[in-house]
Structure 1
Amino acid sequence: MVVIEPTPSEKESSRRVNLTPEPKSKPSASSHGGTSAAGDSSVGFGTSSGGEFNAVDDKGDERQHQQQQKEQEQPQSLESASDAESTLKALEEANYAKLEGNRLFRAGQYEEALSQYGLALQVAPDMPSSVEMLSMCHANRALCFLKLGKYEDTIKDCTKALELNPNYVKALLRRGEAHEKLEHFEEAIADLKKVVELDPSDVQARRTIQCLEPLAAEKREKMKQEMIDKLKDMGNSILGRFGMSVDNFKAVQDPNTGSYSVSFQK
């Protein structure tokens, strides 16, 4: 179930929608859930609270509307009235595209939602009141990519959202899940550790880290062995010209000094 906060213009037609605003500075453990792009559960990206992790972010629209009114009322000393009007119009257009993207996401039309979020990112003016909306559009677009199984794109958009809002828990969780899907276990763990740093009470994030750490260690060992095998192949290709191989050379450790010496064996 997608949880989304309506704008003032949507309140009359959306009485049945749950209002669950996301805290700005210290998000709670209920800010995420665990459904992956393919509908299955990841190693541990779920919480006991339900599906807010899979909900597009729509908070701040009423606040943005109030901010627009304030900016419209303030005297324009650095730009002309026409420029100010164009800026506000662009912000309203971006906000509308974002809301349309949310509607399409709720309908399961992820490709169409992507287009609307992209339009919002394109037309939004470069001003402080746009930052929160832009970070949400990046995070919501990342969620669409996650649903479509486009994990690399998910990571890119989450990263952009986090550049605008470094404490954005949902973006961290979505990027962490995408990293897990791509078996980037170290990166997934790093994102979850940031979540725990922001919210030490997030038990699910701690459990997920515990699940991913053995996988990360196994992958490190596998990569190490692959590197050794590549070096052996390279050495054999050179030594083979002289009728030798790396197996002719043995590393022997000195028990007194701990240093190694290489001996040749036929």
Structure 2
Amino acid sequence: MAVNGAAAEQMTDSPNTEFTPVADSTQDPQVEHPTDVSATDDIQEYATDDEFYDSHEYSTEELERMLREANDFKTAGNEYFAKGQYDEAIGKYEDALFACPERNTEERAVFFSNIAACQMKQNKYTEAKDTCSKAIELSPAYSKAIFRRAQAGEKIASYSALTEALKDYQSVRELPDITDFTRKECLKAEQRLPSMIKDQGEKEKEEMMGKLKDLGNTLLGKFGLSTNNFQMQKDPSSGNYSVNFVNKN
């Protein structure tokens, strides 16, 4: 079904629109997220190469024209996004980044956040998280990008990503420009994540211990020993382990 430009605009970020997260951020993290990775290297170039459109080299009129061109690309990207054509949408948002003067940091942050929205839709959560970070570097209090990065981190679900996601949810909740609904979603996440972080931390610790045991058996085998000669005891109060040698000969 065709979606007009106005509807598509509401589905992606613009500097003057408020972010409305999905009811359950762990399910399908809605439109505040675009996607594609093929362009990540180019995105990095656009973000760091101040050779493009240096404000000292162009007149005010030229810079304004460039910004209009960038916003036209964004509008085209929004239309692709609304149709579910995320690769094409990313291409247009990248064009917007290329056209947009470096001085327009708020607009550039929006373009990065829209790319991240596409990446979320394509389940490319690591790329989305990194792209959100680019947006946040340009606009540190950009609630949509911070919330989206939290959603991406929760989807990645590693111990470190979950820990960072919790911090992002807490940061968003403290911002003054968010809706009550967004604040409630952040509170839900703050209640949900601590147990997830604890469980994932234990899981990763056990996986690491298993890898260390395999490595230990490889090395100790050269001396006629194995990790079975060493007894590991966990201190319930601290969670730390101590190792004791056990002679099984």
Alpha-carbon spacing, 1:115–1:195, altered in 2? closer, same or farther (3 Å): same
Q: What is residue 165 of structure 2 aligned with on the other side?
A: 188
Larger-Rg structure: 1
Unaligned runs of 5+ residues in structure 1 are 7-13, 36-40, 47-52, 57-77, 254-259
Q: Which residue, out of 108, 125, 138, partners 2:84?
A: 108
Find out whether 1:262 has 2:244 as its counterpart: yes
Partner Cα separation in structure 2 for residue 169 and residue 101 of structure 1: 21
The farther-off stretch of 204-213 and 115-124 is: 204-213
1:53-85 deviations in whole A, cap 9, x for unaligned? 6258xxxxxxxxxxxxxxxxxxxxx978x7444
Task: Note the 1:44-193 alignment, pairs <5 A.
Answer: 54=31, 83-127=59-103, 130-183=104-157, 184-193=161-170
Match of 1:222 in 2: 203
Instruction: Report the counterpart of residue 222 of structure 2 in structure 1.
Output: 241
Pair 1:239–1:124, CA change in 2 (3 A): same
Change (3 A) 1:229 1:5: same
Q: Determine the structure 2 residue equivalent to 1:69.
A: none
1:206 aligns with 2:187: yes
Shift of 1:43: 3.1
Q: CA deviation at 1:243?
A: 2.2
Distance 2:69 2:76 in 1: 11
Number of aligned residues: 209
- TM-aligned CA deviation for residue 179 of structure 1: 1.6
Q: In structure 1, what is the Cα distance between the partners aligned to 2:87 and 2:233?
A: 60
Shift of 1:191: 1.4
Partner SS, residue 174 of structure 2: helix
Q: Deviations over 1:129-166 (max 9, x none)?
A: x2221111111111112112222221122111111111
Aligned residues: CA RMSD: 3.7
Does the aligned pair in 2 maintain the 1:94–1:123 contact within 8 Å? yes
* Maintained 8 Å contact 2:5/2:78: no
Q: TM-score, normalized by length of structure 1?
A: 0.65
Structure 2 gaps, min length 5: 34-54, 235-241
TM normalised by structure 2 equals 0.69
**C-alpha separation between the residues in 2 aligned to 1:226 and 1:96?**
49
Residue among 179, 182, 197 paired with 2:174: 197
